[in-house]
Structure 1
Amino acid sequence: MPRREARRALAGAGLAHALHDGYADLIYVLLPLWQAEFGLGYGALAALRGLYSAAMAGLQIAAGRLAERCGGRRVLAAGTALAALGYALAGLSGGLLGLGAALALAGAGSSAQHPLAAAAVARAYGAAARGPLGAYNFAGDLGKAALPALTALLLVRMPWREALWLLALAGLATALAVRALVPAGAGPVAAAEGRAPPAAAPARGRGAAFALLLGIGVLDSSVRAGFLLFLPFLLAAKGAGLPLVGLALTLTFLGGAAGKFACGWLAARLGVLATVLATELGTAAAILAVLALPPAPALAALPLLGALLNGTSSVLYGTVPELAPAGRIERAFALFYTGTIGSSALSPVLYGVIGDLAGPAWGAAAAAGAALLACPLALLLAPRLGAAR
């Protein structure tokens, strides 16, 4: 594909990634407002947040199949518009049931983004897609940092429903940009053209190794989702106002973006096992530090915590092709990604119950404990890693 068209594809995919990841994480800023308006406990708030993630995780494979029939660009643009419509309807909702349905609709629209936008970049750049795919991933982290902060600023000036309408307009504008920028043939791909297959682990025991890898990914995703569920309330208990909560989330997500780059580099030099152990142990220690520290030092610790929270994922994703059962790399990525997003949707409900029973600090401490549980799985996985060890 010509360089100019490839750059357009990357721009469109990056815009989609930024919007959808921002849509997913701005919910955390709204949770305290919904708690006050609807009288919800932490378990109910987690379930409300989980509606979005569950719909997004559960429909990714269906979105890919639909793209094979209708074209990736059309489905990606339509999904972006559907996500925007979901947020517009959330702003129109008059009760908890309507709000939950609207968030589920927004999540369904977002299900198209990851498989189709990443495929568009891979199709556009072929064998040279590794760097552009990194830029695409980074765009998602920028969205996670920008949209929650923007939402917090909007909420200072207007009710949350009106803020969601403005964010919905931004989603519709992004859908039009995706339709204009992403090439018509950008659909799912079996493998990037010209890319050599990754080195694979021995076939014997590969399925068990992949199961261990998936288990680490599920725990790692649950830690991030569980801690972020409680972060606004932990900061509020320390005396932080809404703008400071938005800043805290921004710092956490910016640290997460840096962690994805740094931990991939560290894994190449220190090995997968050492990097996973360092990030998971560091995550647990950083969560406990945020719980214990006064507001200013806790805020200063959040970028490092964000880097540790997100850093493990970049290591795990790079190991999926090596451990794909029977060499089915595409299916392995689908299973891994669905499992980790599903964990983000469901596991916070458990943390929310703990928060209801014992308080948000204990809920966050439980998330730190889950990070520690990933370490034994990493030790079991290490002998099976082969070249990635």
Structure 2
Amino acid sequence: MQRTTMNPSPAAATDIEADTSARRSGSLRTLFGACLAHFVHDGYTDLIYVLLPVWQRQFGLGFAELALLRCLYSGTMGGLQIPADAWTRRIGGRLVLAGATLVAAGGYLVVSLPGGLAWLCVGLLLAGVGSSVQHPRASLLVSEAFEAGARRWLGIYNFAGDLGKSAFPAAVALLLLVVPWRGATAIVGVVGVVGAAALCVLLPRGLVATVARAGGRQGSGSRAGFRLLVLVGVLDTATRMGFLLFLPFLLHAKGGHETAIGFAFAVLFAGGAFGKAVCGWIGDRFGVVASVIGTELVTALLIVTVLMLPLAPALVVLPLLGVVLNGTSSVLYGTVPELAPTSDVGRAFAIFYTGVIGSGALAPIVFGVIGDHAGRTPGVLAAATAALLTIPAVLAMRRAMK
């Protein structure tokens, strides 16, 4: 008997092609929506640096009080990562991201209200609550939308956050030239409201609802491997924050003034944004372990190089340092779904972000103590050492992955 081969009918083939196209479109819309949320929330986080001197003059605050104001936002955002993930897991990701953005925008609208310091504190707390949701939820959505090669797309997501860190402070600095600071924060709040509305339109309903019900996919790593991944993230963040703490004083000692220091941070962050976009691809191409070891070794080497060089050559090196200083994080974020010890990838992201955000808050204090007692150069070298400490942790993580 002659065997016949069953081929799909033209109508069935058309349906399959349409379904594939719809899934691809939904994945891209999810990526764009997550990038928009990251852009807004990271912009909200860093624009506070522009407003701190204004608040110092307005309310007569000292440096410790300004640090506490900053902590009202960043501490609330970091401390609520895990609870926020638990509170929102039964709600579709589309509504979660749009609602969280609306709450964060509402916080800045409260900040803009006429009143005393109490209203400012309430607004910063509210904005921190809203921003506590974005990182774990948006990262989960991207990793679920692109199960194959998620690390590469998470790099694009992280790149969008760096764009927000650059755009929002610059925009607020320009606004302060023409409007009072309350007016500037009101405009920023309105932008967030518009962003929340855009998320409702942009994010697809079906894909996000499926992600919210599934709650993640089974990770391939052990609990030990995931803990080591968090440790690497903590050390990587500590390296970055420690170096940034000393960089302006290091450049000033080389003869750099305010213009040179501003230029240095601009080229460093530009390199960092590029690194976040590219290093996710590098992680896919060469693997997690080789990529992290390579970027951390180059980070430590370039930190020491900047420490030793005169001002002009140091400024030339800073963009390359920015690539590896920030780029490692994209490799690490993309590894969270792979090493999540349970099927709850959303909670794994929340735990990971709690670790790195907490490190970002505490590391400057630790390195500052080192700098106060031992000097600027030992403080910079301590930051480079933190980068090298990631290497044994990454090697141990590889054994856990096996």
TM-score bucket (shorter structure): 0.7 to 0.9
Aligned residue number for residue 209 of structure 1: 225
Residue in 2 that maps onto 1:86? 107
CA contact (8 A) 1:240 1:295 kept: no
Distance 1:146 1:230, change over 3 A: farther
Q: Is the 8 A contact 2:72 2:125 kept in 1?
A: yes
Are the aligned partners of 2:42 and 2:162 in contact in 1 as well (CA < 8 Å)?
yes
| One-letter amino acid matched to 1:112 | V
Question: 1:115–1:379: structure 2 CA closer, same or farther, 3 Å change rule?
Answer: closer
The C-alpha deviation readout for 1:138-178, integer Å capped at 9, x for no partner, is: 32232223223333444455555543333222222212212
Q: CA deviation at 1:110?
A: 0.9
1:351 aligns with 2:367: yes
Secondary structure of the equivalent of 2:326?
helix
The corresponding residue for 1:251 is 267
State the alpha-carbon separation in 2 of the partners of residues 63 and 81 from structure 1.
15
Structure 1 stretch 262-271 or stretch 108-117: which is displaced more? 262-271
**Who is 1:175 aligned against?**
196
2:132 maps to a residue whose letter is: S
Answering whether residue 75 of structure 2 is matched by residue 54 of structure 1, we say yes
User: How many Å apart are 1:278 and its aligned residue?
Assistant: 2.8
Aligned match of 2:159: 138
Aligned partners of 2:371, 2:107: CA distance in 1, in Å? 28
- The one-letter code matched in structure 1 to 2:325 is L
Distance in 1, matches of 2:251 and 2:179, equals 22
Asked if the contact 2:84–2:132 (Cα under 8 Å) also holds between the matched residues in 1, the reply is yes
C-alpha separation in 2, matches of 1:208 and 1:263: 24
Once the two structures are superposed, the pairs formed by residues 274-289 of structure 1 within 5 Å of their partners are 274-289=290-305
Secondary structure of the structure 2 residue equivalent to 1:325:
coil
Shift of 1:312: 1.9
- State the TM-score, normalized to the length of structure 1: 0.77
Q: How does 1:231-246 map to 2 (within 5 A)?
A: 231=247, 239-241=256-258
Residue 338 (1) aligns with residue 359 (2): no
SS at match of 1:337: helix
Q: 1:64 to 1:289 in 2, by over 3 A?
A: same
Any conservation in 2 of the 1:127–1:192 contact (CA below 8 Å)?
A: no
Residue number among 114, 132, 138 corresponding to 2:135 in the alignment: 114
Name the counterpart of 1:377. Answer: 393
Give the number of equivalent residue pairs: 377
- What is the Cα deviation at residue 109 of structure 1? 0.8
1:147 is the counterpart of 2:163: no
Confirm whether residue 260 of structure 1 aligns to residue 276 of structure 2.
yes
Whichever residue aligns with residue 24 of structure 1, its letter is: T
CA contact (8 A) 2:151 2:283 kept: no
Distance 1:269 1:121 in 2: 19
Q: 1:104 to 1:151 in 2, by over 3 A?
A: same
Structure 1 pair 59/283, CA: closer, same or farther in 2 (3 Å)?
same
Distance 1:159 1:298 in 2: 37
Structure 2 counterparts to residues 179-198 of structure 1, below 5 A = 179-184=200-205, 186-187=208-209, 188-189=211-212
* Correspondence for 2:4: none
Per-residue deviation at 1:370?
2.3
Bigger radius of gyration among the two: 2
- Structure 1 residues 39, 46: CA separation in 2 closer, same or farther (over 3 Å shift)? closer
Mapped partners of 2:287, 2:33: distance in 1: 34
The answer to whether residue 326 in structure 2 is matched with residue 310 in structure 1 is: yes
Whichever residue aligns with residue 61 of structure 1, its letter is I
The question of 1:77 aligning with 2:98 is answered yes
Secondary structure in 2 matching 1:332: helix
Give the distance between the partners of 1:44 and 1:133, measured in 2 at CA. Answer: 36
**What letter is aligned with 2:93?**
G
Q: Which moved more, 1:274-283 or 1:213-222?
A: 274-283
Identify the match of residue 63 of structure 1 among 84, 102, 110. Answer: 84
Aligned-partner residue type, residue 184 of structure 2: A
Which stretch of structure 1 is more off in the superposition, 273-282 or 228-237? 228-237
Q: 1:274 to 1:14 in 2, by over 3 A?
A: closer
After superposition, the Cα gap between the structure-2 partners of 1:287 and 1:14, relative to the gap in structure 1 and judged at 3 Å, is same
Cα distance in 1 for partners of 2:336, 2:370 equals 32
Q: Distance in 2 between the 1:236 and 1:100 partners?
A: 33
1:11 maps to 2:32:
yes
C-alpha contact (below 8 Å) 2:300/2:388 kept by paired residues: yes
State the distance in 2 between where 1:352 and 1:94 align: 34
In structure 1, the residue matched to 2:241 is 225
Task: Quote the sequence identity (%).
Answer: 54
Q: 3-state SS of the aligned residue for 2:358?
A: helix
Contact 2:90 2:213 survives alignment (8 Å): no
Do the aligned partners of residues 292 and 107 (structure 1) sit closer, same or farther apart at CA in structure 2, a change above 3 Å counting? farther
Output the CA distance in 2 between the equivalents of 1:349 and 1:155. 30
**Are the counterparts in 1 of residues 236 and 328 from structure 2 also a CA contact under 8 Å?**
yes
Distance (Å, rounded) in 1 between the aligned partners of 2:66 and 2:310: 26
Q: Distance in 1 between matches of 2:70 and 2:144?
A: 33
CA gap of 1:285–1:98, structure 2 versus 1, over 3 A, is: farther
Gaps of 5+ in 1: none
> Shift in Å at residue 132 of structure 1?
5.3
Report Cα offsets for 1:269-312 as digits up to 9, x if no partner.
Answer: 55433432332233233334445555544443332222112222
Q: Cα distance 1:116–1:352, how it changes in 2: closer, same or farther (>3 A)?
A: same
Say if 2:340 is the partner of 1:324: yes
Deviation at 1:217, TM superposition (A): 1.1
